[in-house]
Structures are given as C-alpha cells and as structure tokens.
Amino acid sequence: MLDIQNLQVIFGTGRLQVQAVKNASFHVEAGESYGLVGESGSGKSTVLRAICGLAPISGGHVRVDGKEVTTPRGKAFYRTIQMVFQDPYASLHPRHTVDRTLSEPLAIHGVKDAETRILQALREVGLGPSFRFRYPHQLSGGQRQRIAIARALILRPKVLLLDEPTSALDASVQAEVLNLLEDLRHKMGLTYILVSHDLAVVAHLCQRLLVMRNGESIEETTSAALRSGQASNSYTQSLIEASQGFSRDAPQPASSLAT
Amino acid sequence: MTKPLLEVEDLRVRFHLRTGTVEAVRGVSFQLGRERLGIVGESGSGKSQTGRAILGLTPPPGEVLAKRLTFDGIDLLTASKRTLRTLRGGRISMVMQDPKYSLNPVMTIGEQIIEAYQAHVKASRAEAHDRALAMLEAVKMRDPGRVFALYPHEVSGGMGQRAMIAMMLVTEPDLLIADEPTSALDVTVSMEILRILDEFVSERGMGLIFISHDLKLVSSFCNRVLVMYAGRVVEELEAKHLREAKHPYTQGLMRCLPTLADDVHPLPTLNRDPSWAL
C-alpha cells in the first residue's frame, strides 16, 4: 500500500540546513497498522508530514499503491490518505462549527450528499447528530479528537496517518479513542501509520513498528517482540525500560549516551 | 514522629463566576513530611489548583478557604504578603509544566537563577554567580558555563525544564511543588529529571508534592499517592500498593492504560459513576 525508500527530509539551506530525516525506509501492507516510535526530534512526525506533502521530500521515494507521489499532491492522493494531528485543541478551526469543518473536504472534492455523509461520519465516531452545530470550544478534548478523526474519514480514505492522536488526552479518554481507532480499522479495512512516543500505545495498536532516532531508523521490530522484551538494539531496550516507570537503580539513561 | 512540614485540612478553592460558583477543590486534607507525595487525577480534578492554593497562587477571582493550611507552623492563609513573598521561591517553590512559558524569554538562564537566589539570600553577585553555576551542574547540565549565557529559546525542552528546576532549587527550599514537571518531555529525559528531584529529596531532606496525570509514573516515583476526582481526594494510598487500590476510579484508571505486559482488546474504559463526585 505504502512504500517508503531511503526517505530524506532537509529543511533550510547553507548554515541553517537541518537534516530532519536522514534515512528512513519501511513498507506498509494494505490493512496493516504500522508504528513509528522515537523521542522528540527523531523525525517520526516529519516522516508523516513528508508523506502527505506538508514537508519536502529531499531524497528517496514515497510510493502509494506502487506509484510515486507527485508534488503537489493531487486530489486523488487526499482521497486515499488523510491525517489526524496531535493536538485537537489546535487542529480544528475555532470559529467553524463541526458541520462546517466536516463539509469543507466534501465541498473541495465535490461530493454530493454532504448532509448524509456528515451525519454518518458523526455516527461512526460515536457522536450523535446533536454535536453537528457545535463549536470546538463546546467540545471536550476527546470529542474534539473524534471530530478530527471524522474529518479525516469523511472522504473514505484507505490510509490514515495518525500523529500522536492520544498524547494530549487523559488516560481514560485515550482508551476510548484507541478503541474507536481499532474499531474503525476493522470495520473499514483501513491502513494506519501511527506516530507516538508511547511504546505501550504503539504496541497496542500496531503489529510492526520502526524505532527512530536523530532522523535515522534504528530498528524495525514487532509489537510481540516489544512485549517479550526482545529488542536487539540497546536504544530500543532503554525506551522499553523508561516506559516501565521510574526506577531508582536504573543505569545511565540512553539520552545521555549520545546527542 | 516529627511535626509535618505541611498540613492541609479541608482546603477549598472557589471561583465565583457569572454563571455561578464553581468549586474546583472541595475539601482536600493531607499532611506532608519530608517525603514524596503524588497527587494524581485527570484534567479538571483540581490537582493543580490544590498545588497553587498552597503557594497562594490561585488566580483571581478565586477564593481559598481552609480549616488549616500551615507550612512549618506558619499559617499561610493569614500570613502577610511580605511573609508569603519570603516563603515563595525561598522555602517553598514550584516547578511548572512548560519551561517555554514559565521562563523569562528576555533574560539569560544564568541571570534568572541569580535573580532568584539574590531575591532570597543576601549574597554578592560573584557568590550568586557561583551558586547558579553549581546549581546548573547539579541538575546535570552537560556544559553549565554555556547554558548559563543562553536564552530560554535557545535550549531544548528538557534543558529548559532542568534550568527551571535549578532556579527553584537554588534557594534550597524545604518544599517543592512540581506541577506536571515532566509531561512535556520525552520518557528518557523525564527519567533524568525525576532522578535529579529524587536526589534532592533523599539527600537534602526536601518535601516534594508531585502533581501528575500519569498514574504509572507517580506510583513508581512517590511514597504516597492521593487520587483526586472532581475536586476531592477519593483515595489515599501507599504508592507500592497502587495495584490493590480500592476505589473504582483508581482501579478504572489503572486498567484503561495500555501496557506492554498484556494485550487487551478492546481496552476497558472508565464508566464514571456520578456518586464518585458527591
């Protein structure tokens, strides 16, 4: 479905040049859920942004269904791939109602039956029609993230790019949104690429994942291997340890080893 | 048993709004010695307002009421502004969540630490300078001299947070209130920050109130945990006994977290019982 080969993303020129992604390659099958894990600055979000055209592709290949993506991306691309952003407080237009937010992609793509599509999208994400004419500030964080998911799903894409979809949410709300995402994937046969710094969330939602650090991919592993604690790479191992909580007799943390 | 450092009894924080009165904290009581106390709860549970009320930082038009709110024998509710000013930043200090918003953007990190130190301790500039550098080293800055001259926007989130901790600890406070000190940071960096705080508690006998929404983190770091829901403490327990929590809210919070240890699909969600908020 999605094939990334030696992807490079470079921002700026000359002295200010930053290589955000140095070399990332992975392949995602249709219907699969793939995770990208790493700390801030590891380039995991930039990979997602490069896929959907929000960051430049400076080198390498991004292929969707075997075809190289064009810049700028066409309408057909956005009917296949949609993105859900991290912060539901920042990613919804504060002065647009839910109805307007959801009808915008339909208008751009010239979809006819907007009315039924909006109501259906709201139902799919577990919100009733009563939410249709609310503004974002009248919604809780979890409800906003549901609207963001509905907005992404309304064009019936095949792939969802999820950039830290639950890290701004409370634990109990996170569980609800994770369940919703899993449910939707099974019902609609979606493909996910999930970016998160939380290993447990990635292991919960994804089968395979890529560990990134400083713009490079460190190791590709499976969530089963994560669960059993089998990670060949010492950096992955230190991430697993850190996710277990604080420990008084831990060795030197990984981030002091390099950078 | 020595006298507790901080005693809080029936603390209430109220906001009188046009639409009526909102009680953000509704009768919280606890005592703190020289230990690590965790306060856990979700957004809106009143955990941050509890921490702010202790320091007298409740934003207007908020109103703080308590039967008892004493720090080392000093009544914080009736104390003069002057007394409070010497306590705040001197003997009690607070680390905020986001270093981006809580550091002064137009002052170098070193200057800010010096300012904090000289506001409370009579010291020459050279002395304060040395203290600030030593403090930056104590919070494990790799190159203290360089960081000293940097502005907050020039450092990463983890370094900013360490700079703030350095500033808060330079006066060697007896009590530190840390409001989500690691929530904006990566896991491995937050472990480092916790290790620094941990050292101060165990070596200098500081009392620590650690406010967080992360139950797992708090239970591994603190001695005791207060679980807050809708402005009340629903449960107080020893951190190591968190697994045996009695209250359905605490149990629910524990269960709805995905873990690496087991694979549950779908995740159990929290059914909020209206009676918890009563």
State the pLDDT at residue A229: 78
Residue A217 counted as domain residue: yes
Rounded mean pLDDT, A231-250: 79
Q: E strands along chain B, which residues?
A: 6-17, 20-32, 36-40, 62-65, 68-71, 74-75, 92-95, 175-179, 207-212, 224-229, 232-238
**Percent of chain A at pLDDT exceeding 90:** 60
Weakest-pLDDT range from A204-208, B73-77, B111-115, B243-247: B243-247
Residue B162: name the closest of B129, B192, B139, B143 by CA.
Answer: B139
Decide if pLDDT at A258 tops 80. Answer: no
**Percent of chain A at pLDDT exceeding 70:** 96
Contact B258 A175 (CB under 8 A): yes
Decide if pLDDT at B42 tops 60. Answer: yes
Average pLDDT, chain A: 88
The domain that holds A213 is classified in CATH as: 3.40.50.300
Number of domains in chain A: 1
Rounded mean pLDDT, B97-104: 83
Of A141, A171, A246, the CB nearest to B253: A171
Give me the DSSP letters along chain A. -EEEEEEEEEES-GGG-EEEEEEEEEEE-TT-EEEEE--TTSSHHHHHHHHTTSS---EEEEEETTEEPPSS--HHHHHHEEEE-S-HHHHS-TTS-HHHHHHHHHHHTT-S-HHHHHHHHHHHTT--GGGTT--GGGS-HHHHHHHHHHHHHTT--SEEEEESTTTTS-HHHHHHHHHHHHHHHHHHT-EEEEEES-HHHHHHH-SEEEEEETTEEEEEEEHHHHHTT--SSHHHHHHHHHHT---TT--S-GGGT--
Residue A53 counted as domain residue: yes
Number of Cβ within 10 Å of residue A214's Cβ equals 16
Report chain B residues whose CB lies below 8 A from the CB of A198. Answer: 187
Residue A165 counted as domain residue: yes
pLDDT-derived band at A249, boundaries 50, 70, 90: low
Whole domain around residue A47: which residue ranges?
A: 2-87+157-245
Residue B29: name the closest of B88, B58, B70 by CA.
Answer: B70
Distance (Å, whole) CA A199 – CA A167: 12
Alpha carbon of B159 to those of A57, A238, B103, B217: distances in Å? 31, 20, 12, 20
State the pLDDT at residue A115: 92
Domain positions in chain B: 1-88+211-278
Distance (Å, whole) CA B133 – CA A151: 51
Distance (Å, whole) CA B45 – CA B35: 23
In B, residues 172-201, which contact A (CB 8 Å cutoff)? 186-192, 194-195, 198
Q: pLDDT higher for A226 or A152?
A: A152
The structure tokens listed for B148 are 């000293």
Contact B187 A182 (CB under 8 A): no
Residue A137 counted as domain residue: no
State the pLDDT at residue A150: 94
Nearest residue of A to residue B192 by CA position? A253
Residue A85: name the closest of A109, A117, A49, A53 by CA.
Answer: A49
| B247 DSSP 8-state letter | S
The structure tokens listed for A169 are 């949410």
For A196, list phi and psi in degrees, rounded to 5. -160, 155
Residue A152 counted as domain residue: no
What's the CATH code, domain B1-88+211-278?
3.40.50.300
In A, residues 179-198, which contact B (CB 8 Å cutoff)? 179, 182-183, 197-198
ipTM of the complex: 0.77
Of B187, B259, B270, the CB nearest to A197: B187
